[in-house]
Amino acid sequence: MQEVTRDAIVSITLFAAVFGMVYVFLITRHRERMSMLERNLTVPPFPITNFNNLTLKTGMLLVGLAIGFLIIFILQECGVYSDLISVSMVCLFGGLSLIASYLIVQKKKDQQIN
């Protein structure tokens, strides 16, 4: 198969998958709101959600991955490099950042209880 055809198929498939997920999400949200209106429940136009934990987790994961890539770059400049080191550094620092975000969330929950 030619590269252009393969790239076109991959691009169209990716677009269709993303479009399908967004479509299902919007249709599900619409049906949920319609059923709430049928039951005479109030439907807030903008649902109040708390993304603090998700934002913290995502931010710390991205910082951890960036630190992992930085360590890989430093190791490449020193002449010490292998594929195993690159994968392990990204996973190590990404995992450490997720553990740190978990500990921060637990500490906040303990403070709220007390």
Asked if residue 56 and residue 93 are part of one domain, the reply reads yes
pTM value is: 0.53
| Residue 68 shares a structural domain with residue 105 | yes
Answer whether residue 114 is part of any domain.
Answer: no
Q: What is the CA radius of gyration of the chain?
A: 22
Contacts of 43 (CB under 8 A, 6+ apart): 33, 36, 37
Copy the structure tokens of residue 37: 């209106």
Same domain, 105 and 60: yes
Whether residues 93 and 72 share a domain: the answer is yes
Total domain count for the chain?
2
pLDDT tens-place values along the chain, 114 residues long? 688 899 999 999 999 999 999 999 999 989 988 998 899 887 777 666 655 688 888 899 999 999 999 999 998 899 887 888 888 989 999 999 999 989 988 888 888 776
Domain containing 65: what range?
A: 52-109
Do 102 and 60 fall into the same domain? yes
C-alpha closest to that of 54 among 112, 109, 105, 92: 105
**Whether residue 28 is found in the same domain as residue 61:** no
Residues 58 and 37 in one domain: no
Is 81 found in the same domain as 69? yes
